[in-house]
Amino acid sequence: MSQENSMVHEKEKRALPGFLMLFVVLGIYVYGGFTIYQLAKLGENHPDAGMMVVKMIVLFILASIAMGGFFIIEPNGSKVLLLFGKYVGTVKVAGFHWTNPFYSKRNVSLKAQTLNGQRLKVNDKVGNPVEIAAIVIWQVIDTYQASFNVEYYADFVNLQSETAIRHLASSYPYDAEEDEISLMRNTDEISRHLGVELDERLALAGVKVIEARLSHLAYAQEIAGVMLRKQQAAAVIAARQRIVDGAVGMVQMALAHLEKDKIVELDEERKAAMVSNLLVVLCSETQVQPVVNSGTLYPG
């Protein structure tokens, strides 16, 4: 496609009111009928009979041609007008209209349309196979580009949406640390990136993306079980780390209170034993049985 053609945009055109032209065409038919009546009354031998026949034929031909200029536009619809292959303009005003009957007309819908994408299996940034799908809400904003820059703009939207989703999925990992963007943790940001990329890809077809968001995201079936165990293990490790951090803080607080209030004096060995016991009690997953220490026995 040449650069000159890609820079051409929609040109809005006004059409004549359809009902006004309908009265004109009906008037031509009525006048033609009156001419037939006069011809029948005067007879075929009248000197003006030949001229009246020619006039009648011309009037009926003009009226019949004019009938081809009527068209209707529904709300959020449009007609792209062509004159012998040359773009003339686009009529967007809803209603009953009339225009040059030699114009050819193409329907282009301006309604918002929804693409419910099918589930695609794609490798994410780190190579894990994932299933991903998206919903795209789009609308034609330039009827010239939608009609002449691409063959079928709806098919173009479907194909480019699938390409953009595949590219998006391969650009980010399914899951990652909190400081890295991932498909699972940053759904809103990922959806914004998808919308921006689709806008760039679909601009050639005169299409604007109203909204794009992920509708399905999961590991592929062949690795779903392994990844689930991996996530569970990571969750257990994170929970244990938090438990240990809390237990160490409680032990430090207990030792600080004992020293501050001078409740008991502990040597290093007893501090170590106390720390060990407290950590066992605080970090154990099962109920700990207390051991009563009655004191230290010294030989007599």
210 with 164, same domain: the answer is: yes
Is 46 inside a domain boundary? yes
Least confident of 44-58, 125-139, 149-163, 274-288: 274-288
Q: The whole model's pTM is what?
A: 0.67
Question: Between these two residues, 278 and 98, which has the higher pLDDT value?
Answer: 98
122 with 209, same domain: the answer is: yes
% the chain with pLDDT above 90: 35
Is 298 inside a domain boundary? no
Domain extent for 246 = 224-283
Whether the per-residue pLDDT at 183 is higher than 90: the answer is: no
146 with 193, same domain: the answer is: yes
Question: What is the CATH classification number for the domain harbouring 151?
Answer: 3.30.479.30
214 with 228, same domain: the answer is: no
Last residue within a domain, chosen from 219, 241, 263: 219
pLDDT recorded at residue 297: 47
17 with 103, same domain: the answer is: yes
Is 297 inside a domain boundary? no
Is 141 inside a domain boundary? yes
Is 18 inside a domain boundary? yes
127 with 72, same domain: the answer is: no
Is 272 inside a domain boundary? yes
Whether the per-residue pLDDT at 220 is higher than 80: the answer is: no
3-state SS string over the chain?
CCHHHHCCCCCECCCEEHHHHHHHHHHHHHHHHHHHHHHHHHCCCCCCHHHHHHHHHHHHHHHHHHHCCEEEECCCCCEEEEECCEEEEEECCCEEEECCCCCEEEECCCCCEEEECCCEEEECCCCCEEEEEEEEEEEECCHHHHHHCCCCHHHHHHHHHHHHHHHHHHHCCCCCCCCCCCCCCCHHHHHHHHHHHHHHHHHHHCEEEEEEEEEEEEECHHHHHHHHHHHHHHHHHHHHHHHHHHHHHHHHHHHHHHHHHCCCCCCHHHHHHHHHHHHHHHHCCCCCCCCCCCCCCCCC
User: In total, how many domains does the chain have?
Assistant: 3
